[in-house]
Structure 1
């Protein structure tokens, strides 16, 4: 069975009729926003962050809506995969990413290296990391940034 859902024409019309007016996409499904972040959602993320199962804590670490103290606590988790999820999350605070740039686990440091929100001072430290993989990711990210900047410059005639 496929996980792809196909809407009937009637369903598409119903979605289009109930879509927000401010939306710009012609696709009615794309016009619906995620539910707002409520106190109960934040409380649920906090509960997930304290769960005994590391996979559940990973879910909390990947949340875009976790409070800063949750990211900070999960960055000290004994399970490296949880810390890696914090390191890859672009909503993780800069101070937490700085701390994770010195993590004992190479994979965690690698995720910090490719996180676009990581501060420059942490990237400088990672550029001299003991791991060739981490150093390589830092170089790759720098090359991408240079290519992006070069392509954004207007052509000179």
Structure 2
């Protein structure tokens, strides 16, 4: 006996009509607004970015509210994990992503490759990266874009 259920078109239509309506992302955000970004939050991010512990600096690098000058400093952090978190951050400038695309550490370049906002010229360079992993990630991301546009 099969456990797969096949609904008729009429049954699917009835189920769809009875389903609760879904909120759009904008409606959800309106119901649950994020706290405002204050000067004190920016001061805390600056302090975290200069902490001696690389895990703390990595946490700062992941913040969507990271000031540009702090991001530029963290792009040259001696710890690859910090640079990796910066490379994943979707609010980092295209110029910094271009710079991180040339990072000595494969993982940092890989995170640039999967960052949705990485500029096309950086992606073209990463497509020829010495690392097979980075090249595969570039190809994977391109296949997603091709799937969405089809």
Q: TM-score range by the shorter chain?
A: 0.7 to 0.9
In 2: Cα distance, 1:112 partner to 1:41 partner: 26
In 1: Cα distance, 2:149 partner to 2:27 partner: 28
In 2: Cα distance, 1:52 partner to 1:146 partner: 43
Partner of 1:88: 88
TM-score of the superposed pair, with normalisation by structure 1: 0.77
Secondary structure at 1:24's aligned position in 2?
Answer: helix
Write the mapping of 1:93-132 to structure 2, written as runs, cut at 5 A: 93-132=93-132
Partner of 1:77: 77
User: What does the per-residue CA deviation read over 1:45-99, in whole Å, with 9 as the maximum and x for residues that have no partner?
Assistant: 0000000000100110000001111111111100000000000000011110000
- TM-superposed CA distance for 1:33, in Å, is 1.3
Partner of 1:146: 146
Please, which runs of 5 or more residues in structure 2 have no aligned partner?
1-25
The aligned length equals 125
In 2: Cα distance, 1:134 partner to 1:30 partner: 38
TM-score of the superposed pair, with normalisation by structure 2: 0.80
Structure 2 counterpart of 1:24, from 27, 34, 37: 27
- TM-superposed CA distance for 1:30, in Å, is 8.1
Consecutive aligned runs of 4 or more in structure 1 exceeding 3 Å deviation: none
